[in-house]
Structure 1
Amino acid sequence: MDGSVPREALKRLDVFVGEWVVESDFPGLAAPAGRSVFEWALDGRFLVQRSEIPVPEAPESTAIVATDPQTGAYTQHYFDSRGVVRLYAMTFADGVWRLLRETPDFSPLAFRQRFTGLVADAGDTIHGTWETSPADGPAAWEQDFTLTYRRSR
């Protein structure tokens, strides 16, 4: 394998690279804007996202996106200031960014999670929604909170 599959897959993520102001809408909670930075690491083999929202209920986080060397499929490795570690299956196609967690990994699966973000304004805005569903039984998705990323540079 010459590495072209994962490199091409990662190149599609260039739209994320930069600094973003993050506006959040948590039900029942007034949250000031936060910040998220996406940057390449280790010779462009991984996309790293660092996020902070100045609200105690919203932990600081670091996420690392990697690709499968055979298929180019994305996996997001998530870590936060609470000590939570999770794996998300990730897709990015046609301006739609999706994250999905439906099975236990490094932490118990108390609930399923998914995120859908729509890239707009020539790549300068991402409107996203996090949803949850009970871990047992059929998936009945309910909105958890929304995030809007606005490129600041």
Structure 2
Amino acid sequence: MRNAELAKLDGLIGEWKTTLSDAWFLEPPGTEVPAATTIERLGESFLVVRIEFGGGAHNSGMNLVIGRSDANDIYVALYEDERGVCRQYAMTFDGARWILNREDPDMYQRFIADVEKDRILGRWEASEDQGKTWRKDYDLTFERSRG
């Protein structure tokens, strides 16, 4: 039986042309890295987000598995990438705003995105002082290519 709360994320499902931009760590300033993102169901209770970055020295990828803790009435997301990084995020989604948040001993981090039918405008931010101040790591723009 399909998870009703996860069904609220159906608008994210599809294929997206993605661009990473305005990253403090990329040289020269203004560098944009193209990516392809696929968001699909995994069974009846999960979504999988796969982002494949391309372009010269910027070949990499990241994966996110989104599910629900029904007993706690919350979304949960697990993240991993080719560096061997594995992180857990609390997640909220109201149809227009998508937020991933983690408050771990090593760093606080969040993804904040405005969701439209065929476009998602998001940014990753980090805090090294337990959320007192935030710096933007980079912007992620998703344009629907199929879905």
Structure (1 or 2) with the greater strand fraction: 2
Deviation of residue 8 (structure 1)?
1.8
CA offsets per residue over residues 48-74 of structure 1, 9 Å max, x none?
Answer: 011111154573111100101224310
Q: Would the aligned equivalents of 2:108 and 2:131 in 1 still touch at CA under 8 Å?
A: no
Q: Secondary structure at the match of 1:12?
A: helix
Aligned pair 1:51/2:44, yes or no? no
Aligned pair 1:146/2:147, yes or no? no
Output aligned runs, 1:1-153, within 5 Å.
Answer: 7-25=3-21, 26-27=23-24, 28-29=26-27, 30-42=31-43, 44-54=44-54, 56=57, 59-104=60-105, 109=106, 111-120=107-116, 123-134=117-128, 136-137=129-130, 139-153=132-146
How many Å separate the matches in 1 of 2:35 and 2:58?
13
How many Å separate the matches in 1 of 2:134 and 2:33?
26
How many Å separate the matches in 2 of 1:50 and 1:58?
14
Question: Which letter does structure 2 place at the counterpart of 1:103?
Answer: D
How many Å separate the matches in 2 of 1:57 and 1:140?
28
Q: Secondary structure at the match of 1:152?
A: strand
Runs of 4+ aligned structure 1 residues displaced above 4 Å come to 55-58
Q: Would the aligned equivalents of 1:31 and 1:54 in 2 still touch at CA under 8 Å?
A: no
| TM-score normalised by structure 2 residue count | 0.86
How many Å separate the matches in 2 of 1:113 and 1:95?
20
Q: Give RMSD over aligned pairs.
A: 1.9
Ranges in structure 1 where 5+ consecutive residues have no aligned partner: none
Q: Would the aligned equivalents of 1:9 and 1:73 in 2 still touch at CA under 8 Å?
A: no
**1:137/1:60 Cα in 2 relative to 1: closer, same or farther (>3 Å)?**
closer
Ranges in structure 2 where 5+ consecutive residues have no aligned partner: none
| TM-score normalised by structure 1 residue count | 0.83
How many Å separate the matches in 1 of 2:134 and 2:126?
5
